[in-house]
Amino acid sequence: NAGVTQTPKFQVLKTGQSMTLQCAQDMNHEYMSWYRQDPGMGLRLIHYSVGAGITDQGEVPNGYNVSRSTTEDFPLRLLSAAPSQTSVYFCASSYSVGAFGGEQYFGPGTRLTVT
């Protein structure tokens, strides 16, 4: 099992550019989520999905879109990048919402810089 994989590892964008951060898991997990990690703020939930075709907003969804067409993939789209979106982005998955006491498996992260 590869677990949770994310690409790219690093990305630099100019303000106004768009891009998609990729996330895939091979554990047949229903629940997937995206977090951003900023210094002094811990991890904040951007969007999450409880299954294919179902997504919902987290704590900081503005400027981001998601879709979940398959169980395995959960891409995060930045529509028009802004410097405030400079962050480290983590994708996570778990078997189901609330199952196993909420143990989530995290990808290695994507470090995004917007200039």
Partner 1 sequence: GNSVTQMEGPVTLSEEAFLTINCTYTATGYPSLFWYVQYPGEGLQLLLKATKADDKGSNKGFEATYRKETTSFHLEKGSVQVSDSAVYFCALLNFGNEKLTFGTGTRLTIIP
- The residues that touch partner 1, with contacts defined as CB under 8 A, are 4, 33, 40-45, 48, 58, 90, 92, 97-98, 101-104, 106-109
CB of 62 to partner 1, least distance (A): 17
| Strand locations in 1-114 (E) | 4-7, 10-13, 19-25, 31-38, 42-51, 54-57, 64-66, 76-78, 87-94, 105-106, 110-114
CB of 17 to partner 1, least distance (A): 25
Pick 43 or 82: Cβ nearer partner 1: 43
CB of 103 to partner 1, least distance (A): 5
